[in-house]
Amino acid sequence: MSSAFQIVVCGSLVPDPLQTLEPVTGPTGPALKNEMMLPAVLDPWASHALYEAANLAKKAPGSKVWLVSLGPKAKLQQVMMTVAQKAPFELVALDGPASGFTDAFETAAALADAISAIPGLDKSKLLVFGGWESASRGAGVTMQVIGERLGIVDQFQGVDELTPNPDGSFQVLERIEGGRHQISRCAGAPAVLGWATGNLPEPKNNPQVGMVNMRTVMPALQKAKPVKVGAEGVTYASVTLPKQQRETRLVKDASPDDIAREIVEWIRQ
């Protein structure tokens, strides 16, 4: 068994986490106020998946990384300007909504079809990466459905570490309850891995990587296939912001001793 992998990372766009979000009712259901104006980033957990994919590809010679991304084409282009400088990949772009209110199953169907259509993809070497949840829908559903649609039954979620072995097998650490990891050994590709944060820092921007990536990113964006993704069968009765706004009591100019006494009393209540 070869130790080279073909790694397909699924990652979409989400609003920059520092933005204030407000739900509104759009023509097709719930949406975000000024959604198209909000600055976007690559989904954080999917970003970790991309960095881990690039790192694995570097360690396993002959490997290749694709990034399959579904989002409005104009926003994808904007986000790729930054993402393309982080790690080498070939982009497969799908032009469609990246809203958290679209259905995970419809998104997964579009992504699985796009993966299946990648020319020359060898399923015996295929690792499908992504974030274990998005920062938009936050469901933790899409990756499993992609796996099922591709016929892959070795699946792992909340992954923090993948260690390849020379025979093509690999060890996986998945997050489980109580701050623990479950350790598994998988015989090899194909497999689906939904990543948590992993262990790698965010790579620094590398303009050289960016230039190489952009040769394929721009053509991929130009030929991005429009896909229809919605939420068929779903009725949203309401989408609301949490009502609880606390009346913060500001304690200034109190001594550490007084503050400590108050905190201890509160803890012991």
Partner 1 sequence: METIFCLLHTDTDGSLPKAALETLGAAKSLNAALAGSTLVVGLVGVDVQSAANRVASCGAKKFVGAAGADFAQARYATDAAAAEALCRSVLATVVIAPATSRWSRVLPGVAQRFNGRADTHVTGLAVSGSAVAINRWYYRQRMEAQMSRTQRPWFLLVDPGSQPAWQGEAGVAAVEAVAVNLPEACQRTTVTGLREPAADAQTIRPDANLLFVTGAGWTKKQADGQTHVPEAEKLIRDFLNLTRASLGSSKSLVDLGGEGQAVLAFLTHLNQIGQTGSTPRHPKGLSTCCHGEEPHTVGWRFISERRAISLDPNCGWARGKADVLYVADAFAVMKRVNELLAQKAG
Applying the rule CB under 8 A, the residues between 163 and 222 that interact with partner 1 are 171, 173-188, 196-202
**Who's near 57: CB < 8 A, 6+ residues apart?**
5, 7, 63, 64, 65, 88
The nearer residue to partner 1, 39 or 219, going by C-beta atoms, is 39
Residue 52: C-alpha distances to residues 90, 213, 265 (Å) = 15, 17, 46
Is residue 44 close enough to count as binding partner 1 by CB under 8 A? yes
Closest distance of CB 168 from partner 1, Å: 11
E strand or H helix that includes residue 226: strand 225-226
Whether 259 contacts 265, CB under 8 Å: no
Applying the rule CB under 8 A, the residues between 15 and 34 that interact with partner 1 are 15, 17-18, 20-21, 23, 30, 32
Q: For 230, how many CA atoms within 13 A lie in the half-sphere containing its CB? A: 10
Closest distance of CB 264 from partner 1, Å: 5
Stretch that binds partner 1, among 77-85, 96-104, 208-216, 221-229 (CB under 8 A): 96-104
Whether 71 contacts 12, CB under 8 Å: yes
Is residue 37 close enough to count as binding partner 1 by CB under 8 A? no
Closest distance of CB 88 from partner 1, Å: 20
Applying the rule CB under 8 A, the residues between 45 and 74 that interact with partner 1 are 45, 48
Tokens 């079809």 sit at which residue? 113
Following DSSP, what letter does each residue of 170-216 receive, concatenated?
EEEEEEEGGGEEEEEEE-SSSEEEEE-S-SPPPPPP-HHHHHHHHHH
- Residues touching partner 1: how many (CB under 8 A)? 91
Applying the rule CB under 8 A, the residues between 100 and 159 that interact with partner 1 are 100-101, 103-105, 108, 135-141, 144-145, 147-149, 153-158
Is residue 236 close enough to count as binding partner 1 by CB under 8 A? yes
Is residue 223 close enough to count as binding partner 1 by CB under 8 A? no
Whether 55 contacts 198, CB under 8 Å: no
Closest distance of CB 127 from partner 1, Å: 14
CA 179 to chain centre: 21
Stretch that binds partner 1, among 10-18, 82-90, 207-215, 218-226 (CB under 8 A): 10-18
